Structure 1
Amino acid sequence: MFGDPHALQLDLRDGRSDERPFLRPAAHPQRKWIIALAVAAALVACGVLLRDPLADRLWPEARVHALTADAAAALARGHLTAPDGSGARELYEAARAIDPDQAAPRAGLARVAEAALAQAAAGVEAGRFGEAHAHLRLARDLSIPRERADAIAIRLREREAALAGLDGLVARADAARADGRLHGDASAALPLYARVLVLDPGRADALRGRDDALAALLEQARADLRRGDLQAAAGGIAAARDYDPGHVDLPDTQARLTEELDALRRRAAVDFAGGRLDAAVATWRRLQAFDPDDVAARDGLQQAAAALASRAQRQGADFRFADAETTLSRARALAPDAAAVVAAQSALERARRRHAQLQASAAGSDRADRVPVLLREAAEAEARGDLLTPPGDSAYDHLRAAQAIAPTDPQVRRAVARLLPSARACFERYLSANDLARARRCLGAREALGDSAVAMAADQRRLAQRWLAIGDERLGAGQLQSASAALASAREIDPRTPGIEEFQRRLRVASRE
Structure 2
Amino acid sequence: MHDASGERARRNAWRAGLLVLVVLVACFGLWHWRGALSERLIPDPRLNQQIEQAEAALQRGELSRADGRGAKELFEAALAVDPDRAIARDGLVRVREAALARAARALRERHAAAAETSLALAQSLSAPKVQMQPLQAQLADLRAAGSDIPAWLEQAGRPGTSDAVALALYERSLEIDPDNAIALEGRRIVLGHRLAQATSALARGATAEAERLVADVIAHDPAHLDLPDVQAALGEQLAQVQRAREQRLAAAADLEKRGATERAATIYQQLLKADPELAEASAGLSRCARALALRAQAYAADADFRAAAEALGQARRWSPRLPEIAAAEHAITQARLRQAEAGTRGVDQKRLPSLLAEGQAALEREDFVSPPGSSAWDKLRVASAIAPHSAGVLKLRAAFDQRSRHCVTQAMAEGRIVRAQSCLEARILVDPTARDLPQARADLAERWLARAQERIAASDYPAAHQAINNLVWLQPAHPALPALQRRLRQAEGQAR
Same fold (TM over 0.5): no
TM-score by length of structure 2 reads: 0.36
TM-score by length of structure 1 reads: 0.35
